[in-house]
Amino acid sequence: MIDFDDPSEKIKLNQTTAKDLDNDDQLTNFRSKFVIEDPNLIYLDGNSLGRLPKKTKDLAQEIVSEQWGSRLIRSWNEKWLEDTVRIGDKVGSVVGAKPGEVVLADSTTVCLFKAAVSALLSNPTRFIILTDDQNFPSDIQALEAAASMVSKEHKVIVLESNGLEAPVEELLEAIDETVALVSLSQVSYRSGCCWDLSTVTKKAHQEGAKVLWDLSHSVGVVPIDLIKDEVDLAIGCTYKYLNGGPGSPAFVYISENCRDLINPIAGWYGSKDPFGFDPYSQPQNDNRRFLTGTPPLVSTLLIEPGIDLVIEAGVQNIRSKSVALSERFLFKAEKELLPLGFSVSSPLKHKNRGSHLSFSHDSALAIGQALINEHSTIPDVRPPDLVRFGFAPLYNTFGEIEESIERVKEVIYGGGIDRWRDATPVVP
């Protein structure tokens, strides 16, 4: 494993050919486990939507044809009821949680809202929610909704960053006896800056506040140990680095010290006896109480092959390759892209960022569209001026890093900006 804090190791990494790096890559065999129909396509958007695992494709057919098509409602008793718990535990193993502490439910925003409201209700004498401007916009919207739902006195304070780094000192100073909840994205969707879970959580606990982490851009690619870091609450999506597929359900983690929290959107699936059809049934005595309605079973089941690949590879190994890919890209970009009008909009120190790099350019949208439509390369763009390059170590290669830099240069020198200057933004 490369020591990226050792300058000589970094020099060695950047002087080694991409071919040799790929030949020595211990994760190289995982690429063959994904559906890659166009080998010429360089996909650098796994931080938005992961590739399709081959086993997921086969599993989807089996679910539809057999579990649903043949067994019909019998599948609930035969496996589905337990499947949701079992797969939740697999996600939990990736984030350092105990069995039963992670449940799959709803979307990321809904999970965040439920967790935030429950945390605020548990501490009714405090009215401040702290977050930062690098947090995902819908997270801030959900926090605002949670605050207004609880009381008129509650308010969200959004701390300003410099656009690159997490505002660590500002946040630690702002956490005091008035704060009920600190809610942050561990890895920023914009710059990729990465918070230290332990430092923030420890400070919040010292002041009597709870912490709610969004792990969407870190789960599966950044080592996480929720128990060790004494995290209260966490949520996250499964369709990025876990490769669960579009619209796959999010997850919510509730620590043991928060077992008294109440799901603000109670529903039959969170009750002790959902099939007793008792409107006064008490909530589940574990984290399943944060379930509400019937889970999206098909998409839940399809998460499993992607999680299995992450578990098989090991998050520490994934992280090591992630840093190597990003360091290699950054080294090349500083020499070849910065003279072409790009500037780095991510932390330069690998310890301070997740698995994507952001670059600013006045023509970011046009560059992104030219890469997608003319050069078989898929990054993504975040307005007004960011091009994000996401590195998914299970299927991205060092050769792709080299080639993607060349394709960006081809856009600049080949007039791609002019051809796509008036392009309509695409999702995501």
- Name all domains of the chain by residue range, CATH numbers in brackets: 7-33+314-419 (3.90.1150.10), 57-310 (3.40.640.10)
In terms of DSSP H, where are the helices of 37-185?
A: 54-62, 74-75, 81-94, 108-121, 137-150, 168-174
Confidence of residue 13 (pLDDT cuts 50, 70, 90): confident
What's the rounded Cα separation, in Å, for the pair 27 and 37? 20
How many other CB atoms are found less than 10 A from the CB of residue 312? 12
How many CA atoms does the CB half-sphere of 385 hold within 13 Å? 11
pLDDT 10s digits, 44-100: 999 999 999 999 999 999 999 999 999 999 999 999 988 988 999 999 999 999 999
Burial of residue 28 (number of CB atoms within 10 Å: 0-12, 13-18, 19+): middle
- Neighbouring residues of 358: CB distance < 8 A, sequence distance ≥ 6: 190, 191, 192, 344, 345, 346, 382, 386, 387, 388, 389
For the whole model, what pTM was predicted?
Answer: 0.95
Name the nearest CA neighbour of 240 among 313, 195, 321, 303.
303
pLDDT for the residue numbered 15: 80
What's the rounded Cα separation, in Å, for the pair 171 and 129? 11
Evaluate if residue 12 carries a pLDDT over 80.
Answer: no
pLDDT for the residue numbered 14: 79
What's the rounded Cα separation, in Å, for the pair 366 and 271? 51
pLDDT for the residue numbered 22: 95
Look over the chain and give the mean of its residue pLDDT values, rounded to a whole number: 94
- Neighbouring residues of 364: CB distance < 8 A, sequence distance ≥ 6: 381, 383, 384, 385, 386, 387
pLDDT for the residue numbered 130: 98
Evaluate if residue 119 carries a pLDDT over 80.
Answer: yes
pLDDT for the residue numbered 426: 63
- H/E stretch holding 316: helix 315-336
- Neighbouring residues of 408: CB distance < 8 A, sequence distance ≥ 6: 337, 340, 367, 371, 377
pLDDT for the residue numbered 285: 85
pLDDT 10s digits, 140-168: 999 999 999 999 999 999 999 999 999 99
Residues with catalytic function: 136, 214, 239-240, 388
What's the rounded Cα separation, in Å, for the pair 291 and 289? 5
What's the rounded Cα separation, in Å, for the pair 43 and 25? 18
